[in-house]
């Protein structure tokens, strides 16, 4: 059996033998920086988005309601963006038609790019609860990107606007630029307010009515999205859109202890990333069976449930820059224009969405101190809903055309093994869990090859993406784009 360590050792031994028998000029293999760069450029071509037309701008949509012009954003006048992203619309809309309504949600809407569909609408929300969808817009799936470590915004060739229109919404009330006093108690309240917002959105932008709707989001949106979908399905005609399916990425689906703290056995592929010593690994192995037993319903003391914190604390000792959102990160911690570089916060001043010129350009309230994740409790008394895997998700899967769950394998805040456990303990379509095993190396990314796993049964498709952290559209954008193509029926197989 060959191992990476064995191969490296063999190569080193071969190099040593070779160096003793040839001229000195061949003793050391030299690779110049231009050669390295050339190889990187060639490799990057495999990641290019060959499915997108190579042109800028968007398909403009003319809106008949004069009020729509109040939300128009000039795509050539967005601060720091030195290219024209085309027309878009953003601002605040109320969650109801009541004339005294004070609760408003902030949105940014883009029509599709030149090769996108005019018949579809993607809705995106971040999680938290209380984290802004402007993070998803600027660093994951929006038409321009300002990623961590970048000096300025760049065009995003993997923008989901290359598939269809996209609507990013900061919700619930209390998130980002959104206005009003939070008053929701559970996910049904959240869904009702979001649907109320969509009703107001369709009044201002009536040409979006009857579009095929796809609800998407990540993290705690794994709870939001199934409840929103279920609300739409259980209230026929409540919104003039045709819900087709959902995508939830690195989702919160079950109890926190069972989805996060239940996995103490690290995958062999990432053990060396954590750099734990053998005695600590043995301790984790000894605890694994006990914690898993508790997830399956057997009693276990709460003290034994603190495995996740134990791993996190140990990881920080070895690597103070350890990032729970992407376990590969080390020093230096890269500068983030949104001010949220994983587990190691830095102070950026000003944050991009806190700049007055940015607020003016996108019709955001000038008096709001924007933060990526709100310090306001958007559920004042806590979210009183049960996790969606126990309640609404099975019904949503059965009613959707397609349901997609995605998980990045370099995520530590929510870990893929926990999502697998949730799926295996969930019943939908008359059966519990997947009936056949998930095959390794089964997710093939176009032009790249195997980049994880995929499994489909009874309307649910589950993806695992290698090398991706918590935010899959950010860390593996081509994979996320291909997954969205499948969700929307633009490709027949994943």
Active site amino acids: 219, 411, 470
Can you give the chain as a three-state secondary structure string?
CCCHHHHHHHHHHHHHHHHCCCCHHHCCCCCCHHHHHHHHHHHHHCCCCCCCCCCCCCCCCCCCCHHHHHHEECCCCCCCCCCCCCCEEEEEEECCCCCCCCCEEEEEEECCCCCCEEEEEEEEECCCCCECHHHHHHHHHCCEECCCCCCCCEECCCCHHHCEEEEEEECCCCCCCCECCCCCCCHHHHHHHHHHHHHHHHHHCHHHCCCEEEEEEECCHHHHHHHHHHHHHHCCCCCCCEEEEEEEECCCCCCHHHHCCCCCCCCHHHHHHHCCCHHHHHHHHHHHHHHHHHHCCCCCCHHHHCHHHHHHHHHHHHCCCCCCCCCCCCCCCCCCCCCCCCCCCCCCCCCHHHCHHHHHHCCCCCCCCCCCECCCCCCCCCCCCCCHHHCCHHHHHHHCCEEEEEEECCCCCCCHHHHHHHHHCCEECCEECCCCCCCCCCCEECCCEECEEEEEECCEEEEEECCCCCCHHHHCHHHHHHHHHHHCCCCCCC
């Amino acid at each position: 059996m060959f191992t990476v360590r064995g191969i490296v050792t063999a190569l080193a031994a071969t190099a040593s033998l070779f160096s003793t028998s040839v001229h000195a000029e061949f003793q050391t293999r030299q690779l110049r920086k231009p050669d390295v760069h050339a190889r990187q450029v060639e490799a990057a071509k495999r990641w290019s988005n060959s499915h997108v037309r190579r042109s800028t701008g968007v398909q403009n949509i003319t809106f008949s309601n004069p009020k729509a012009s109040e939300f128009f954003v000039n795509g050539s006048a967005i601060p720091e963006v030195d290219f024209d992203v085309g027309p878009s619309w953003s601002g605040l809309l109320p969650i109801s038609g009541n004339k005294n309504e004070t609760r408003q949600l902030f949105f940014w809407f883009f029509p599709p790019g030149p090769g996108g569909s005019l018949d579809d609408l993607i809705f995106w929300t971040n999680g938290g609860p209380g984290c802004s969808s402007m993070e998803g817009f600027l660093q994951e799936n929006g038409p321009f990107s300002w990623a961590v470590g970048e000096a300025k915004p760049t065009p995003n060739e993997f923008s989901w606007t290359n598939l269809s229109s996209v609507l990013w919404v900061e919700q619930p009330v209390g998130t980002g630029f959104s206005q009003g006093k939070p008053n929701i108690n559970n996910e049904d309240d959240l869904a009702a307010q979001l649907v109320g917002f969509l009703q107001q959105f369709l009044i201002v932008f009536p040409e979006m009515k009857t579009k095929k709707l796809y609800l998407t989001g990540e993290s705690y949106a794994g709870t939001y999205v199934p409840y929103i979908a279920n609300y739409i399905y259980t209230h026929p005609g409540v919104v003039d859109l045709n819900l087709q399916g959902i995508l939830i990425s690195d989702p919160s689906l079950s109890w926190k202890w069972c989805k996060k703290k239940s996995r103490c056995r690290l995958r062999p592929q990432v053990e060396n990333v954590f750099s734990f010593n053998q005695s600590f690994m043995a301790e984790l192995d000894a605890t694994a069976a006990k914690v898993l037993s508790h997830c399956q319903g057997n009693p276990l003391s709460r003290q034994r449930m603190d495995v996740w914190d134990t791993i996190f604390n140990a990881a920080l000792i070895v690597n103070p820059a350890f990032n729970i959102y992407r376990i590969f990160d080390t020093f230096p911690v890269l500068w983030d224009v949104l001010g949220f570089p994983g587990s190691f916060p830095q102070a950026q001043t000003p944050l991009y969405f806190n700049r007055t010129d940015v607020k003016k350009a996108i019709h955001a309230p000038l008096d709001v101190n924007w933060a990526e994740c709100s310090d306001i409790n958007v559920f004042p008394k806590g979210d009183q809903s049960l996790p969606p895997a126990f309640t609404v998700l099975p019904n949503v899967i059965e009613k959707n055309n397609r349901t997609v769950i995605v998980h990045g394998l370099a995520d530590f805040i929510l870990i893929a093994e926990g999502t697998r456990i949730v799926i295996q303990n969930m019943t939908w379509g008359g059966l519990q869990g997947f009936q056949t095993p998930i095959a390794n190396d089964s997710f093939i990314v176009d032009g790249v090859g195997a980049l994880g796993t995929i499994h489909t049964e009874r309307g649910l498709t589950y993806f695992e993406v290698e090398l991706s952290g918590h935010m899959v559209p950010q860390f593996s954008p081509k994979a996320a784009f291909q997954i969205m193509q499948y969700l929307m029926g633009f490709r027949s197989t994943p």
